[in-house]
Structure 1
C-alpha cells in the first residue's frame, strides 16, 4: 500500500479541496478499511455545526478490511463492514439511562480521518460497540444509508405512533424521505409529505407517502384537515431546520399528538410557543440526536429483510476527484437525495448514474 492517500477536505462551504493525507496507522485491536463508498450528509452543510476546520468530509462510509490489528479475531481481510462513525459506551450516567448519543464520549469517538478518503482507521471501541459484517444481500450503496436512516429509525422510536395514526413529514429531502418510508413500519396509516419542491413530493410518493402537500400552493392546515377527516396529524416530524418550518409543523399537530424535531435550529434561534395552548393541547415534543448501536442493528435487519428501498434513495454518484461538485450539489439541495462518493472510482455498473 501507498503511504499517502487522497482525501476530500472541508475548509468552507464553497471550499472543498482534494488533498494528500497519510494513510492512518493502526494499533492493537484496530482495523484499516479501504473506503468502498461514502454518502454525504445534509448536516455537513450547516457551517455552525462544524466543530473543527479543516476536516475530512463524510461520516457514512462502507469499507473493506485491508489491515487487521493484533488481537482482532472477529473480522478479517476482505470483510465488507459498516461501522458507525460515533459509538457510545456502556458505563456512564447517560448510557445507563438509554441516552448513548448524548454522552460526551459518543461525539469524541470518530473514524480516522473521515469517510471521503481512500482509507480510514477504526478503533477497538468502534469494533466492540457498532461494527457489522454486511451480507451479500445488502449492496454497498444500500449500506450507505445505514447511518443516516438509522437516525430516522431512532427518531421514530420515540414518536409513540399508534397503529393507523396519520404521520406528516415537513421537509422531503433525503432524511424526510426516510421518515416517510419507515413510518409505516411503526404502524402509520396515512403518511403525508410536505415540501416546497414538487420533485421531492413526487419522490415521497415513491417512498410510500399516501398524500403530499406543497405549502407554497395551498394552505397546509386546511389541506391536512381535508385529507384526514377534519383532523390534523397525530405525529408530525419536522426536518427543515428553520423556525418557520417548526411553526408550520406545530400548527399541523392534532391535540394529544406528537411533534418530533428531526433536525436542529442554529444556536440562538428562538422558537416561541403560546403557553396556554401548549398546556391544553397536550402535545408531546420529542427529539433524538443521531443513532446508537441498537438503532443500526435494527435498521440492518430491516434492510436485510427487504423492507427498505435503500438503493432507490441514491440519486448521484461521484469519484473523489469530483467531491467539490458533489458537495456543491448537496448544498444546492434541489433535485438530489443521497449523494455518494467513491474514493477509488465509481464502479462500472454505477457509472451511468455518475456526475
Structure 2
C-alpha cells in the first residue's frame, strides 16, 4: 500500500480538483478502509452548507477494511463495512432526549478525510456507534444508499403517517424518490409525487408513486384533490429548498395534517406563513436533520429483507478522475438520481449497468 492516495477535493462549486493526499494513519482503536464506492449528495451543492474549504468531497462511502488497530477486535481485514460519516454519543442532554444528530458532538465526528478518496480512517467512536458489516446479499451499490435514505427513514418517523394516509412529496430528486419509495412502509396509501420534471415523475412511478403532478403544467391543489376524493394530503413532504416551494407545499396539506421539511433553506431566509391558518388548520410542522445509529440499523435490515429498490436508484457511475464531471451533473440536477464515484475504478460488471 502506498503512502499517498487520490482524493477529489471541493474548493468551490465550480472547482473540484483531483489531488494527492497522504493515506491516513490509524490509532490502536481505529481502522482504515479502502473505498469501494461513494455516493454524491445534493447537499454538497449548497455552497453555504460548506463549513470549510477545501475539503474532500463525499460522505456516503462503502469500504473494505485493509488495516485494523491493535485493540480492534470486532472487525478484520476484508470486512465490507458501512460506517456513518457522523456519529453521536449517549451521554448528553440532547442525546438522552433522542436528538442525537443535533448534539454538536455529532457533526464534529467525521470520516478522515472524506468519501471520494482511495482510503479513509474510521475512529473508535464511529466503530462503537454506527459501523456495520454488510450482509453478502446487499450489494455495494445498494449499500451506497444507506446514509442518504436512512435520513429519509428518519424523516418518515416524524411524519405522523397513519395507515392509509395520502402522502404528497414535493421534489422528486433522489431524496424525494426515497420518501416516495419508503412512505408505504410507514402506512401510506396514496403517494403523490410533484416535480417540474416529467422524467423525474416517471421515475417516481417506478419507485411506487400512485399519482404524479407537474405544477408547471397543472394546478397542483386542484390536481391533488382530483386524485384524493376532494381532499388535500394528510402528510406533505417538501424536499425543494426554496421558500416558494415551502409556501406551495403548505397549500397541499389537509386540516390536521403534517408538513415535513425535508431539506433546509439557506441561513437568513425568511419563510412567511398565514398566521390565521397556522392556528386554525392545526398543521404540524416537522423536520429531521440527518440520521442516527437507530435509523441506519433499521434501513440496513430493510435492505437485507429486499424491501428497498436501492440499486435502481443508481443512475450514473464515474471514475475518481472524473469527479468534477460527476459533481457538475449533481449540481445541474437534470436527468440523474444517485451518482456514484468509484475511487479504484468502476467494476467491469457495473460499466454497462
Corresponding residue pairs, total: 353
Whole-Å Cα distance in 2 between the matches of residues 350 and 262 of structure 1?
31
1:322 alignment partner in structure 2: 322
Whole-Å Cα distance in 2 between the matches of residues 74 and 55 of structure 1?
30
Equivalent runs, 1:290-301 vs 2, <5 Å: 290-301=290-301
Tell whether 2:77 aligns with 1:77: yes
Equivalent runs, 1:158-237 vs 2, <5 Å: 158-237=158-237
Partner of 2:120, secondary structure, is strand
1:217-255 Cα offsets, whole Å, 9 max, x none, are: 000000001110000000000000001100111000000
Whole-Å Cα distance in 1 between the matches of residues 283 and 304 of structure 2?
35
1:240 alignment partner in structure 2: 240
Unaligned ranges ≥5, structure 1: none
Partner of 1:205, secondary structure, is helix
1:125-170 Cα offsets, whole Å, 9 max, x none, are: 0000000000110000000000000000000000110000000000
Whole-Å Cα distance in 1 between the matches of residues 351 and 142 of structure 2?
16
Per the TM alignment, residue 28 of structure 1 is displaced from its structure 2 partner at its CA by: 1.1
1:94 alignment partner in structure 2: 94
Whole-Å Cα distance in 2 between the matches of residues 136 and 319 of structure 1?
24
Could you list the structure 1 runs, at least 4 aligned residues long, displaced by more than 3 angstroms after superposition.
none
1:107 alignment partner in structure 2: 107
Equivalent runs, 1:293-312 vs 2, <5 Å: 293-312=293-312
Per the TM alignment, residue 70 of structure 1 is displaced from its structure 2 partner at its CA by: 1.4
Per the TM alignment, residue 51 of structure 1 is displaced from its structure 2 partner at its CA by: 0.2
Equivalent runs, 1:24-43 vs 2, <5 Å: 24-43=24-43
Give me the CA root mean square deviation: 0.4
2:54 alignment partner in structure 1: 54
1:150 alignment partner in structure 2: 150
Tell which deviates more after alignment, 265-274 or 252-261.
Answer: 265-274
Whole-Å Cα distance in 2 between the matches of residues 167 and 248 of structure 1?
15
Per the TM alignment, residue 191 of structure 1 is displaced from its structure 2 partner at its CA by: 0.1
Whole-Å Cα distance in 1 between the matches of residues 267 and 90 of structure 2?
29
TM-score between both structures, scaled by the size of structure 1:
0.99
Tell whether 2:49 aligns with 1:66: no
Partner of 1:27, secondary structure, is coil
Partner of 1:203, secondary structure, is helix
2:138 alignment partner in structure 1: 138
TM-score between both structures, scaled by the size of structure 2:
1.00
Partner of 2:121, secondary structure, is strand
Partner of 1:276, secondary structure, is helix
Partner of 1:62, secondary structure, is strand
